[in-house]
Amino acid sequence: MALARALDNTLPDYQELKAEADRRWQELTEGERPWIRVGAAMCGQAAGALDVIDAIEADLARSGTDARVDGVGCIGLCYAEPIVDILRPGVSRLLFGNVARSGVPRLLERALDANGAYAEGAIGYLGQPVEGAPSLDALPGIKRQQKIALRNAGHIAPSDVYHYIANGGYDGLAKALSDMKPEEVVDEMKESGLRGRGGAGFPTGVKWSFMARGGPPKYILCNCEEGDPGAYNDKGILESDPYTLLEGMTLAGYATNASNGFVFIRHGHDGPISRTERAIEQAYEVGLLGKNILGSGFGFDIEISLTGESYVAGEETALMESIEGKRSMPRFKPPFPAAFGVWGKPSTINNVKSFSYAPQIVSRGGGWFKSVGREKCTGTAIICLSGDVKRPGMYEVPMGLQLGQVVEEIGGGTPSGRKVKMIQLGGPLGHILGAESLGYHLDFDEMRERGAMLGSGGVIVGDETRCAVDMARLLAAFCQYESCGKCFPCRLGMTQLLEMIERVAHMEASPRDLELMNSVGNTMESSSLCFHGQLGYNPLRSALANFPDDFEAHVEERRCPSGDCSEPLLAPRNTRSFAEERRAGRTPVEMLTR
């Protein structure tokens, strides 16, 4: 019925939607029923969140307690998942961390007790102070954050569009459709200084302007392939608040006079897929997608396109190939997508984070966004912190913050108390940096000047027990396995690099191998078709430059300082050697996936 009304354009206007959303939100947050939210993003599910939700629902049914239970996204404290967030009428909101299924009955019995606020085991409160619990906003993982793209993460149900609207959602789109011309939206994005968060850092407003001329068919594409080891912020947004992406894409469609949008999500990422599908359905139901959105005369459609399980499938032209039914391999450029994209039509592609900033930029103004971060690198960075760190998580912090502040203050340093030895930054095509990188600022230009790159936000920490050779070969194995094979500099070059770094790891290399490694890497950089081959030597080059002692120990002294290289990646060392495996006709990919 709701979908039929949407097609007939008889749904309420924005003010009516907002009034209904506010009514529902007030009833939910100020009514008589407790509201229980459980962190059920990928990090929560990995820690047992679905079992916790089942236990909560079973215990409520057993006790006859009337409460609403919602699986929500991650508030960023991945180390504390599963987090159970309980809002009881007239009592502050309390969040409990690392909740186990077995502990649910006792937790609910105490936390829902009408006689007071139960704070034992609470990681924090929101609202009025609760004796025995710290303020959530004072936690190291929260107080440094400034949330824009993740403003609703963990707070709203990602399956309820009214939650999003009640918290300012679609205010930007309503403003644009009623008070702004398309070119004014583009100008606002330019004024904000937003640079693409997929890794390249190209100005988003400028990118949109390339496609602003001419009429449809034109396409808005969102890249959520996100195959980087150590990066999960795009998936985190879709699991927490998919509506901010949909609103951002719709704004991009209006600004560029495009008619359709496609969200590319990697096959198998079930949480982001299902939550985005539901968000799209609801947006159609209430008239925020489809024809004549909010009575403006502007129409826009969005659907999901699943990509193959391939890292290179995340390259923008490879995504376009995949939706056309072809193998996901990069195209030659030029022509560029703004002129010749999907099905030969003009197309603009950004990643999830870039689109997710747009609603707040349009709603609050480009100048407001520009006031956050640095002058030439505005806004926030969403950092996925993992590895040898006490508090791994997903943190949205202002651009310009030092990397050391993220690792030491927010992440708590290493669990063992050992010094940080290395930082792997920028994804598998990024760099392996030394401890001096803790002084680097989150800034695209400064990173580039220092021979590093921020990439999509993955930060992997290694302490003094880690080996740079081992880290380099892990990344080389990933890049070799994920090469699409279209161009031979990457296809053959990554295979050769992997063979050489494997010899180094097993103390079988000579100094000549290091020279050959550099020669092959430089050839790949200058002649590969796409960034996968052009940047594929980055991890090895940076490891050689920043950790020469580790390589010298392997090549000259025939030992691994940390012992990390004891396990082979390619072939069992107690059977046939790597060279024997090659002579037997087994490829590195076959050996890697044995």
Query: Residue 519 contacts by C-beta under 8 Å, 6 or more apart in sequence?
Result: none
* pLDDT > 50? residue 503: yes
Average pLDDT rounded to a whole number, residues 303-309:
87
Residue 438 tokens, joined:
């803790």
* pLDDT > 90? residue 456: no
Phi and psi angles of residue 273, each rounded to the nearest 5 degrees, phi first = -65, -50
In this prediction, residue 314 has a pLDDT band, given cuts at 50, 70 and 90, of confident
| Percentage of residues in the chain having pLDDT higher than 90 | 71
For the stretch 266-280, pLDDT in tens is 888 899 999 999 999
Nearest to 282 by CA among 442, 156, 394, 177: 156
Query: What pLDDT is stored for residue 96 in this prediction?
Result: 96
Of 21-25, 178-182, 377-381, 451-455, minimum mean pLDDT range: 451-455
Which ranges of 193-294 does DSSP label H, i.e. alpha helix?
Answer: 204-209, 233-240, 242-256, 270-285
Query: What pLDDT is stored for residue 550 in this prediction?
Result: 94
Which domains occur in the chain, in start order? Answer: 32-137 (3.40.30.10), 161-370 (3.40.50.11540), 380-463 (3.10.20.600), 468-592 (1.20.1440.230)
Helix (H, G, I), strand (E, B) or coil at 434: strand
Query: What pLDDT is stored for residue 6 in this prediction?
Result: 42
How far apart are alpha carbons 226 and 283 in whole angstroms? 24
Query: What pLDDT is stored for residue 97 in this prediction?
Result: 96
* pLDDT > 60? residue 205: yes
* pLDDT > 70? residue 583: no
Of 17-21, 120-124, 379-383, minimum mean pLDDT range: 120-124
* pLDDT > 50? residue 576: no
For the stretch 152-171, pLDDT in tens is 999 999 999 999 999 999 99
How far apart are alpha carbons 168 and 166 in whole angstroms? 6
Query: What pLDDT is stored for residue 591 in this prediction?
Result: 46
Query: What pLDDT is stored for residue 569 in this prediction?
Result: 55
Count Cα atoms within 13 angstroms, Cβ side, for 455.
Answer: 29
Other beta carbons within 10 Å of 592: 18
* pLDDT > 90? residue 586: no
Count Cα atoms within 13 angstroms, Cβ side, for 174.
Answer: 14
Q: What is the DSSP string of 117-144?
A: ---TTEEEEESS--TTS-BGGGSHHHHT
Query: What pLDDT is stored for residue 395 in this prediction?
Result: 97
Average pLDDT rounded to a whole number, residues 437-454:
92
What average pLDDT does the chain have? 90
* pLDDT > 70? residue 259: yes
How far apart are alpha carbons 466 and 450 in whole angstroms? 23
Q: How far is CA 150 from the centre of its chain?
A: 11
Query: What pLDDT is stored for residue 2 in this prediction?
Result: 41
The answer to whether 332 and 340 have CB atoms below 8 angstroms apart is: no
Average pLDDT rounded to a whole number, residues 8-21:
78
In this prediction, residue 114 has a pLDDT band, given cuts at 50, 70 and 90, of low
For the stretch 532-567, pLDDT in tens is 999 999 999 999 999 999 999 999 999 998 877 766
For the stretch 323-364, pLDDT in tens is 998 888 899 888 889 889 999 999 999 999 999 999 999 999
Query: What pLDDT is stored for residue 572 in this prediction?
Result: 38
* pLDDT > 60? residue 587: no
